[in-house]
Structure 1
């Protein structure tokens, strides 16, 4: 079954008490998702350039980057544009389901793992 290119919104969860600040710390991912909500690696490999991420943080301009599949199973957010994963890395994104209400973890450029709630999944 073919995958569907989707917009996935991740919002910071459980770390901050100010709801407005939580909503303003987010990621918008453009990913090919299977019907089960998992990232379709073969579809990503056909056209990785269309898989993009926008990082939204309080007090910062929104930043766009590529989504890379590295080290045989790790998904990285390449904000430095040098094909590495020194910055932000998803934890178990290969096995996570991208469904509204689920949670995913991302190790951000501060070196800490942060929990994000999936608040939107929409076909593009």
Structure 2
């Protein structure tokens, strides 16, 4: 069995991202970020085959300063880099609220790593992976 063949090969993890350093936040900020659940393989990459089996469990919570937290799902969509895009979807009936991970399929999710997301307004933000724990 390969790491990308079943849910047994990957484990559901809870990944927490905090806003990385930027002009607005020179030290980054733990008040802005995401916590999401995804199946990761042994190298820390999102396992697409496993996601297909457990997609209902792949949730996301967006926390953004004083705004009310948003709850949604981690979705894999056709299009984008390498033919597909991972997105955080907060309203299944509307695409305009989706936030797309930049090359999420290529990144290992491990503490200290950095990933980028394009928000619903089209702005790109960089986040630091601060924790990866068993869900």
Give TM-score scaled by structure 1 length.
Answer: 0.91
RMSD of Structure 2 on Structure 1 (CA): 1.7
Alpha-carbon distance in 2 for matches of 1:65, 1:95: 22
1:81 shift after superposition: 1.8
Unaligned segments of structure 1, at least 5 residues: none
Offset from partner CA, 1:60-116 (integer Å, 9 cap, x none): 111110111001420011112227475210000011000100000000112111000
CA offset at residue 118 of structure 1? Answer: 0.1
Runs of 4+ in structure 1 over 2 Å off = 16-19, 82-87
Matched pairs, number: 123
User: Partner of 1:106 in structure 2?
Assistant: 117
What stretches of structure 2 of length at least 5 have no aligned partner? 4-8
SS in structure 2 at match of 1:23: strand
Structure index of larger Rg: 2
Match of 2:100 among 79, 85, 89: 89
**TM-score for both structures, normalised by structure 2:** 0.84
Bigger mean CA offset, 48-57 vs 68-77: 68-77
Quick one: distance in 1 between partners of 2:107 and 2:96?
19
